[in-house]
Structure 1
Amino acid sequence: MALHWALEALCLLPLLNPQNPACANVTAMPITSATLDWLNRRWFYVASAFRNPEYKQSAQEVQAAFFYFHTNPREDRVMVREHMTTGDRCIQNSTFLKVQRANGTLSKIVKEKEQVAHLLLLRDPRSFMLGFSLDDEHKRGLSFYTDTPEATPEQLEGFHQAIQCVGLHTSEILYVDWKKNKCQLKQQQKTKGEAEP
């Protein structure tokens, strides 16, 4: 669900200005088998900033979320198992994402429409972002993920720089509250590299 509202069509590459210091920490590139292998673990949703009203409303409802990417470097799809706390209860969801390696995107069909997001790699290999509609001032957004529930100050600084890079403001960021997480038992059952039953 958190990925559902986060996947929207965009054109990212022209917006990443390598001469802008705020953009130096963001890399958009093709997705390789090594990228898929690296993604194959548990990730925690930390924060997002959306101008799309529908996505912003959905983000406001998420109290905490984590998910597992299950990848096969030889395939162009990723299985996602998500555990999200909303309304003080844990909701579990599974879906498949299509990988477009050449343009570095992940997509899926929702209500007969393909939704696409760019995978944005940061210098810190324990975090990444998804970028949405960055060519549209009224719909653009970023969501931020790390491999632990709490991002480090350095990771947050990288996210804040990316927010400025794409023309968003730090005042637009919505953070999750891990004190409200209702999926604790599920998250503690898994460690990196373990498969879901």
Structure 2
Amino acid sequence: MALPWALAVLSLLPLLDAQSPACPNFSVPITNASLDQISGKWFYIAMASRLPGFKEKASEIHASFFFFTPNHTEDRILLREYMTIGDQCLYNSSSVKVHRENGTLSTSEIDGEYYDHLLLPKDPKTFMLASFPEDKQYMGLSIFADKPEATPEQMQQFYVYLSCMGMDKSEVIYSDEKKNVCLPLEKQHDEERKKEEERSETGTALD
């Protein structure tokens, strides 16, 4: 009786394997084309993280959007980020290091350097960042889109990657664009930049 049962189980293995979500390659080299694809304005949509203390901090962020300005020659990205925490808008400008060969981006924090694997799904209007993808205790995944709300198809791709890493939907924290209070500050910064550009152009013309 044991042999037929075992054969039946073995015959199902290919089917079960075919139904399991395919994991992305977490170490795809970053190219100039990759950097061009993530250049511009992006909105934080959702994230899941098992890094101790990080989930608590992330849950305080109601909404966030940012601008990526890559520098191909220096392998850095200028980051300008607007975060809504509580009823306040926090603005931060920093530099992100690009590690082309292993496909990661890193930022320097007070307690060390944090690395994320850059994932570029088929939909160029989204990208994801995976942290510690092979460590069940610390892993995390975030999704960003070029609009404040992701489409069902975009979220499904996020869930597929999440499932393949071994994480569950119940671990996901979502942003809430309705609580975004940073738009006035963004507008103020835009106006200041335009004035600076006009002054620069005027000075060049006078020269």
- TM class by shorter chain equals 0.7 to 0.9
Shift of 1:59: 1.1
Instruction: Quickly say closer, same or farther: Cα 1:23–1:171, change in 2 above 3 A.
Output: same
Larger proportion of helix: 2
TM-score of the aligned structures, taking structure 2 as reference length: 0.78
Give ranges in structure 1 of 5+ residues lacking alignment: 1-17
AA aligned to 1:89 is Q
Shift of 1:113: 2.1
Instruction: Quickly say closer, same or farther: Cα 1:187–1:161, change in 2 above 3 A.
Output: farther
Tell me if structure 1 keeps the 8 A contact 2:81–2:92: yes
TM-score of the aligned structures, taking structure 1 as reference length: 0.81
Match of 1:141 in 2: 140
Instruction: Quickly say closer, same or farther: Cα 1:19–1:81, change in 2 above 3 A.
Output: farther
Instruction: Quickly say closer, same or farther: Cα 1:186–1:151, change in 2 above 3 A.
Output: farther
Shift of 1:148: 0.4
Tell me if structure 2 keeps the 8 A contact 1:20–1:165: no
SS in 2 for 1:122: coil
AA aligned to 2:39 is N
Which one scores higher on RCO, CA 8 angstroms, separation ≥ 6? 1
Q: Distance in 1 between matches of 2:122 and 2:25?
A: 8
**Number of matched residues?**
176
Q: Distance in 2 between matches of 1:84 and 1:64?
A: 6
Alignment of 1:9-24 (within 5 A): 21-23=20-22
Instruction: Quickly say closer, same or farther: Cα 1:89–1:125, change in 2 above 3 A.
Output: same
Shift of 1:135: 2.0
SS in 2 for 1:34: helix
Tell me if structure 2 keeps the 8 A contact 1:33–1:74: no
- Greater radius of gyration (CA): 2
Match of 2:42 in 1: 43
